[in-house]
Amino acid sequence: MAHTKSQGKTNQKSNRPGQRLGVKKFGGQKATVGQIIVRQRGSSFHAGIGTKAGKDFTIYAMRAGIVKFITKLGKKFITVVKA
């Protein structure tokens, strides 16, 4: 008799690769137009001046400049300012 119950599908999950989320450009680094700054699930960071958010909450640069992380009213914003 088996010591554990048959698990069925739960034992058959294959290893899936990570989704490579996180900050790609840190504060003080240069960003060019269209470069991804943060890939995230949900809006941990909000798009500020010089940035836009994609439909999957990815924040990317709309102009070339230096990346800055700011906190306003308890929310974290990312901006791109001209160098």
Q: What percent of the chain has pLDDT over 90?
A: 78
- Nearest-angstrom CA–CA distance, 5 and 20: 35
CB neighbourhood size of 48 (10 A): 19
pLDDT in tens, 41-66: 999 999 999 999 999 999 999 999 99
Of the candidates 69, 82, 65, the residue with the CA atom closest to the CA atom of residue 30: 65
Let me know if domain 22-81 sits in CATH 2.40.40.20. Answer: no
What residues does each domain of the chain span? Answer: 22-81
pLDDT in tens, 2-13: 676 666 666 667
Task: Say whether pLDDT at 1 is over 80.
Answer: no
CB neighbourhood size of 60 (10 A): 21
pLDDT in tens, 14-49: 888 999 999 999 999 999 999 999 999 999 999 999
Q: How far is CA 32 from CA 39, 56, 83, in A?
A: 16, 20, 11
3 Cβ contact list (under 8 Å, min separation 6): none
Instruction: State the average pLDDT for the chain.
Output: 91
Of the candidates 45, 52, 49, 54, the residue with the CA atom closest to the CA atom of residue 66: 49
